[in-house]
């Protein structure tokens, strides 16, 4: 490890939200790689991140979950009475431990959003469970963490307009359905069309790509909309689902984007928001490479890029992270 990496790690210009229980969920030989959470934490520690860089979340309350999820669905979770088709839609072994994992993940995204409003940026080493609908879960997603965080902060009067930038390879169908027709929440999704979910929901802006499109088509689409969407919508907070599953060779995707392409994606999405002084929350979302280290590389690259963009924006704007806390203004 180089001296530069050590110094870089000790000077992360933002906090990480993380809990060791994230990777303790027993999913057996499932394709969902909970191990990646531990690997990312270990990589950050090796880069010099210290204990004080990490914040530990608490599980979200069932009361707060009702901001998004129906009482009937939540009762089914609490009593373990999901129907057979509901269990099949989850595609994960259902257990009390899964409920605890999901509640902790939602709590982590809420904490990361709150911290982003203070520092300008926060990374949740977790989150991005965008396939959960108000009344059911599916596609490895039991609860919709970003949606609950949006609703909680809006109801508390801490934010007005919100943008969700979803760059997971799968469309965030649950998120799109939850915020359908909401003028104060803009949902952007760039995803692969010829994979799950077979039925796509309608978000504010959906960009559908196809298997094998690769870096050129992918990055052209990103550049077409960013930073323009930030200027047009002017959100008070951005949730960025920085999925690693567009990566070439991913088991559940086929866009064949390279690591360099994903790094460029991160730079475009992050730089535009930070230069406009828009706080941004990074959520990991999906990533299913055969080797979890490959997925970890993509996520760590996102974090490295965020650190570079955060410092660069601060220099250009002549401000430090605390300035975001002083700006608590709504753009609407």
Pairing state between β 15-17 and 121-124: parallel
For residue 61 the two structure tokens come to: 């309350």
Q: How far apart are CA 196 and CA 194, in angstroms?
A: 7
Q: What share of the chain is helix, strand, coil (3-state, %, to 5)?
A: 45, 10, 40
Q: Quick one: average pLDDT of 120-126?
A: 97
Give yes or no for a cis peptide into 157 (omega within 30° of 0).
no
**What is the pLDDT confidence band of residue 310, given thresholds at 50, 70 and 90?**
very high
Residue 298: helix, strand or coil by DSSP?
Answer: helix
- Which of 13-27, 38-52, 80-94, 208-222 has the weakest average pLDDT? 13-27
- Domains and their CATH numbers in the chain: 3-319 (3.40.800.20)
For residue 99 the two structure tokens come to: 């409920």
Burial 235-268 (b: 16+ CB within 10 A, else e): bbbbbbbbbbbbbbebebbbbbbeeebbebbbbb
> To which residue do tokens 């608590």 refer?
328
The number of C-alpha atoms within 13 Å of 312 and in the hemisphere containing its C-beta is 13
Are the C-beta atoms of residues 172 and 186 closer than 8 Å to each other?
A: no
What is the reported pLDDT for 7?
Answer: 42
Q: How far apart are CA 33 and CA 9, in angstroms?
A: 25
For residue 18 the two structure tokens come to: 């993380």
Burial class (CB within 10 angstroms; exposed 0-12, middle 13-18, buried 19+) of 301: middle
Share of the chain above pLDDT 90, in %: 84
Residue 326 has pLDDT above 50, yes or no: no
**What is the pLDDT confidence band of residue 2, given thresholds at 50, 70 and 90?**
very low
Of residues 30 and 195, the one with the higher pLDDT is: 195
What is the reported pLDDT for 330?
Answer: 53
Are the C-beta atoms of residues 58 and 165 closer than 8 Å to each other?
A: no
Q: How far apart are CA 54 and CA 303, in angstroms?
A: 14
> To which residue do tokens 């999913």 refer?
27
What is the reported pLDDT for 11?
Answer: 65
Residue 42 has pLDDT above 50, yes or no: yes
Residue 55: helix, strand or coil by DSSP?
Answer: strand
Q: DSSP secondary structure string, 276-306?
A: TT--EEEE------SSHHHHHHHHHHHHHHH
Q: Quick one: average pLDDT of 267-272?
A: 97
**What is the pLDDT confidence band of residue 324, given thresholds at 50, 70 and 90?**
low
Give yes or no for a cis peptide into 197 (omega within 30° of 0).
yes
**What is the pLDDT confidence band of residue 32, given thresholds at 50, 70 and 90?**
confident
Rounded to two decimals, what is the model's pTM?
0.93
Phi then psi for 276, rounded to 5 degrees? -95, 10
pLDDT tens figures, 204-260: 999 999 999 999 999 999 999 999 999 999 999 999 999 999 999 999 999 999 999
For residue 257 the two structure tokens come to: 């984007």
Of residues 145 and 322, the one with the higher pLDDT is: 145
What is the reported pLDDT for 319?
Answer: 56
What is the reported pLDDT for 33?
Answer: 78
Query: What interhelical angle do 292-317 and 35-46 show, nearest 10?
Result: 50
Are the C-beta atoms of residues 121 and 308 closer than 8 Å to each other?
A: no
Q: How far is CA 307 from the centre of its chain?
A: 16
Q: Quick one: average pLDDT of 289-307?
A: 96
**What is the pLDDT confidence band of residue 3, given thresholds at 50, 70 and 90?**
very low
Residues whose CB falls within 8 Å of the CB of residue 207, separated by 6 or more in sequence, listed in order: 188, 189, 190, 191, 221, 225
């Amino acid at each position: 490890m180089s001296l530069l990496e050590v110094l870089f790690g000790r000077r992360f210009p933002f906090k990480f939200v993380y809990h060791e229980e994230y990777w303790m969920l027993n999913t057996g030989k499932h394709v969902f790689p909970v191990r990646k959470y531990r690997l990312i934490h270990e990589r950050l520690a090796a880069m010099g991140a210290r204990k004080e860089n990490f914040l530990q979340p608490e599980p979200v309350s069932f009361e707060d979950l009702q901001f998004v999820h129906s009482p009937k669905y939540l009762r089914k979770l609490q009593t373990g009475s999901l129907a057979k088709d509901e269990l099949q839609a989850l595609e994960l072994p259902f257990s009390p431990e899964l409920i605890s994992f999901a509640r902790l993940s939602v709590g982590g995204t809420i904490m990361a959003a709150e911290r982003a409003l203070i520092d300008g940026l926060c990374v949740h080493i977790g989150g991005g469970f965008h396939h959960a609908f108000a009344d059911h879960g599916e596609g490895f997603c039991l609860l919709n963490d970003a949606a609950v965080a949006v609703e909680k902060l809006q109801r508390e009067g801490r934010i007005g307009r919100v943008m969700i930038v979803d760059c997971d390879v799968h469309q965030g169908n649950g998120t799109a359905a939850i915020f359908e027709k909401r003028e104060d929440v803009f949902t952007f999704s760039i995803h692969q069309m010829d994979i799950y979910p077979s039925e796509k929901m309608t978000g504010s802006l959906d960009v559908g790509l196809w298997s094998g499109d690769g870096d050129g088509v992918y990055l052209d689409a990103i550049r077409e909309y960013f930073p323009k969407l930030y200027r047009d919508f002017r959100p008070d907070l951005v949730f960025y689902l920085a999925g690693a599953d567009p990566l070439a060779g991913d088991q559940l995707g086929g866009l064949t984007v390279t690591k360099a392409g994903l790094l460029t994606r991160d730079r475009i999405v992050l730089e535009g928001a930070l230069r406009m002084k828009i706080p941004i929350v990074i959520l990991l979302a999906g990533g299913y490479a055969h080797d979890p280290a490959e997925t970890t590389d993509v996520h760590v690259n996102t974090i490295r890029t965020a650190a570079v963009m955060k410092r660069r924006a601060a220099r250009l704007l002549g401000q430090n992270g605390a300035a975001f806390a002083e700006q608590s203004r709504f753009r609407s």
